Amino acid sequence: MISSSAISGLLFTLFSSAVLAEPAALWLVTLEHNDGLRLQFQGAELELGNATFRGIRGAADLKPGMPLAILSRHGVAEQISLDNEAASTASHWQRAEAPLVAVKGQTLHLNRLGTIGFDAATRWLNGGLGDLQAGRQLVLTRDQTGRLTEILVVNPEDDLASP
């Protein structure tokens, strides 16, 4: 007979293995705030944790407005680098921020990210289809399969036509 503590230990081990097996998510975002513990972006944040840095000396060098490529898992940054052209063209991102070039039907054309489709199940945050104008900054979130799940319109009340 197997003891309940042995079963609990086995379940914990299986659950831990499944959680650790989750792939890292790539975020291509612009830093809004760094308090030394958390990194904040448009509509989201990550814990800094024990992240490694590439192209940046350390957390103290992370300044608002910096474009970053971040690998994260479970809400914690694992690797942080400056978002260069190679990272920007990665097709496996989970969260990305980019300016809209054009919209046609249910297809967005974004600077750096290319063409991305959305559907009726895509959730709109802080705006909607009527707020999509060329130059408008968008933050997009995709699920593990690559389907666009959320579109956050950054400052939809701002008039892009004004100087």
- pTM score, whole prediction: 0.76
Q: What is the CATH number of the domain that holds 107?
A: 2.40.50
* 13 falls within a domain: no
* 162 falls within a domain: no
Domain that holds residue 53: 25-87
Q: Going residue by residue through the chain, which has 163 residues, state the pLDDT in tens, using 9 for 90 and above.
A: 454 444 444 444 444 444 456 788 999 999 999 999 999 999 899 999 999 999 999 999 999 999 999 999 999 999 999 876 545 556 789 999 999 999 999 999 998 889 999 999 999 998 899 999 999 999 999 998 999 999 999 988 887 765 4
Own/partner pairs for 30-39, CB < 8 Å, 24+ apart? 30/65, 30/66, 30/67, 30/68, 30/97, 31/62, 31/63, 31/64, 31/65, 31/66, 31/67, 31/68, 32/64, 33/64, 34/59, 34/62, 34/63, 34/64, 39/68, 39/70, 39/77, 39/80
Task: Check whether residue 130 and residue 105 sit in a common domain.
Answer: yes
Count of domains forming the chain: 2
Task: Check whether residue 58 and residue 102 sit in a common domain.
Answer: no
